[in-house]
């Protein structure tokens, strides 16, 4: 089951080459996006020509329209057929169009009822084009259900084990030895925590820091993290609450998007950055980014193997619930509620 009335990340804005359409599958629906050659505005529609079901993403952009390069049907940004070779008047057919927005370096597509599209539901992220906060970005696909990827991001205690020699060392913290404070909003779950006396990566004298981590996991699968390292003792000075008005030693930022392709495949668009309080420190931290980027492949290997075991296990087999499962549990319940409310609303409108 998928939530349809929501904004999904189709990909990075840099994925859309000039003059070329881009096709992706989101919650089972093929979607094509193209940029207006005159205004630069984005357009999105179903990636399927109504003639022979050829993918329009293999077509070409003509002004604000897209032409199928199988038999030449052309469709305007409103989805209506604008031209067909050999016909003086094009047939009254149209392809479905979708609301589409570019924000924080991502292309967002609303997959549900277009009249309910609300840009206020798009969470704020960092973007990957700000030279003052350099980020490394990429996209991968999982042979796994999207909920398993959600679970992974809502329980970072796995860092100590899955990423024992990579992210665990890069963060300098032990993630499984303390629990975050977890709160919920209508469409997101927030995680906050201090790591007291964490190692300062790269320090030669055993220096420690207090690390503050705060991240939100938004419906339908958007992870936005803001973290910072402070001089040791800062956590106690702040009463173990969020630091305000204190200059950090360094910062780390993340923006990640989980987009279901279908019931068994998931797209994952991620970016990560480590930023020092001086240009020299930022340069040194950037040298560690290859280690951090390796963690995303470690996650994929674990989750894909986990999916294979889930597929071979009777759903009635009870799973053990641990304290670490609070975050994944709350997110699953939130998704279930929203999907259920959406189904009820559709029945009432029918």
Among 51, 86, 121, identify where a domain stops. 121
Q: What is the pLDDT of residue 190?
A: 98
Crossing angle of helices 146-153 and 326-349, rounded to 10° = 140
Q: Are 61 and 23 contained in the same domain?
A: yes
Q: Are 97 and 227 contained in the same domain?
A: no
Q: Are 24 and 150 contained in the same domain?
A: no
Q: Are 107 and 206 contained in the same domain?
A: no
**In a domain? residue 349:** no
Q: What is the pLDDT of residue 320?
A: 94
Tally of structural domains, the chain: 2
pLDDT band, residue 202 (cuts 50/70/90): low
Residue 203 has pLDDT above 80, yes or no: no
Among 71, 96, 121, identify where a domain stops. 121
Q: Are 312 and 176 contained in the same domain?
A: yes
Spell 306-320 as b/e; 16+ CB within 10 A means b: ebeeeeeeeeeeeee
**Given the structure tokens 């981590």, which residue do they identify?**
213
**In a domain? residue 347:** no
**In a domain? residue 62:** yes
Domain extent at residue 76: 7-121
Q: What is the pLDDT of residue 206?
A: 78
For residues 172-195, give the mean pLDDT.
Answer: 95
**In a domain? residue 336:** no
Among 68, 89, 121, identify where a domain stops. 121
Q: What is the pLDDT of residue 88?
A: 84
pLDDT band, residue 216 (cuts 50/70/90): very high
pLDDT band, residue 280 (cuts 50/70/90): confident
**In a domain? residue 72:** yes
Q: pLDDT > 70: what percent of the chain?
A: 98
CA atoms within 13 A on the CB side of 298: 17
Q: State how far the Cα of 292 lies from the Cα of 262, in Å rounded to an integer.
A: 28
Residue 290 has pLDDT above 90, yes or no: no
Strand-pair partners of 42: 35
Diameter over CA atoms, the chain: 79
- Find out whether 113 and 22 touch, Cβ atoms under 8 Å: no
State the chain's mean pLDDT as an integer: 94
Query: Residue 156: helix, strand or coil by DSSP?
Result: helix
Q: What is the CATH number of the domain that holds 240?
A: 3.90.380.10
Q: pLDDT > 90: what percent of the chain?
A: 82
Q: Beta-strand (E) ranges in 163-313?
A: 181-184, 188-199, 208-218, 222-231, 250-260, 266-276
Q: Are 81 and 142 contained in the same domain?
A: no
Q: Are 158 and 40 contained in the same domain?
A: no
Q: Are 305 and 158 contained in the same domain?
A: yes
Could you give the C-alpha distances from 303 to 100, 270, 298, in angstroms and in order?
30, 16, 9
Residue 292 has pLDDT above 90, yes or no: no
Spell 222-255 as b/e; 16+ CB within 10 A means b: bbbbebbbbeeebbeebeeeebeeeebbbbbbbb
**In a domain? residue 338:** no
pTM above 0.75, yes or no: yes
In this predicted structure, which of 144-158, 192-206, 273-287 has the lowest mean pLDDT? 273-287
**In a domain? residue 129:** no
Q: Are 117 and 140 contained in the same domain?
A: no
Q: Are 116 and 186 contained in the same domain?
A: no
**In a domain? residue 245:** yes
Q: State how far the Cα of 335 lies from the Cα of 62, in Å rounded to an integer.
A: 39
Q: Are 265 and 201 contained in the same domain?
A: yes
- Find out whether 233 and 212 touch, Cβ atoms under 8 Å: no
Instruction: Give phi and psi for 56, each to the nearest 5.
Output: -70, -20
Q: What is the pLDDT of residue 337?
A: 97
Each residue's pLDDT tens digit, 90-117: 889 999 999 999 999 999 999 999 999 9
pLDDT band, residue 205 (cuts 50/70/90): confident
Q: Are 157 and 103 contained in the same domain?
A: no
For residues 128-152, give the mean pLDDT.
Answer: 94
Dihedral (CA of 237, 243, 244, 246) sign: positive
Q: What is the CATH number of the domain that holds 36?
A: 2.102.10.10
């Amino acid at each position: 089951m998928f939530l349809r009335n929501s904004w999904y990340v189709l990909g990075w804005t840099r994925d859309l080459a000039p003059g070329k359409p881009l096709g992706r599958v989101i919650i089972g629906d093929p979607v094509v996006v193209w940029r207006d050659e005159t205004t630069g505005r984005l357009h999105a529609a179903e990636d399927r020509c109504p003639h022979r079901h050829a993918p329009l993403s293999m077509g070409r952009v003509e002004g604000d329209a897209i032409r199928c390069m199988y038999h030449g049907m052309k469709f305007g940004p409103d989805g209506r057929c604008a031209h067909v070779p050999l016909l003086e008047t094009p047939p009254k057919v149209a392809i479905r169009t979708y609301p589409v927005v570019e924000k924080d370096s991502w292309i967002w597509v609303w997959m549900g009822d277009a009249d309910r599209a609300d840009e206020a539901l798009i969470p704020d992220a960092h973007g990957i084009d700000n030279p003052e906060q350099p980020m490394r970005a990429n996209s991968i696909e999982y042979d796994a259900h999207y909920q398993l990827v959600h679970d992974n991001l809502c329980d970072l205690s796995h860092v100590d084990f899955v990423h024992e020699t990579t992210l665990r060392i890069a963060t300098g913290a032990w993630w499984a030895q303390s629990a975050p404070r977890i709160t919920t909003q209508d469409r997101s779950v927030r995680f906050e925590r201090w790591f007291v006396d964490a190692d300062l990566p790269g320090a030669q004298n055993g220096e420690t820091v207090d690390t503050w981590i705060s991240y939100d996991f938004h419906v339908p699968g958007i992870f936005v993290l803001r973290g910072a390292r402070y001089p040791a003792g800062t956590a106690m000075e702040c009463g173990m609450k969020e630091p305000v008005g204190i200059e950090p030693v360094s910062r780390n930022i993340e923006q990640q998007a989980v987009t279901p392709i279908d019931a068994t495949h998931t797209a994952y668009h991620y970016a990560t950055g480590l930023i020092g309080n001086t240009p020299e420190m930022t340069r040194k931290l950037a040298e560690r980014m290859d280690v951090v980027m390796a963690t995303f492949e470690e996650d994929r290997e674990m989750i894909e193997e986990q999916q294979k075991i889930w597929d071979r296990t009777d759903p009635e087999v009870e799973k053990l619930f641990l304290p670490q499962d609070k975050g994944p549990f709350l997110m699953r319940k939130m998704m279930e509620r929203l999907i259920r409310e959406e189904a009820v609303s559709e029945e009432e409108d029918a």
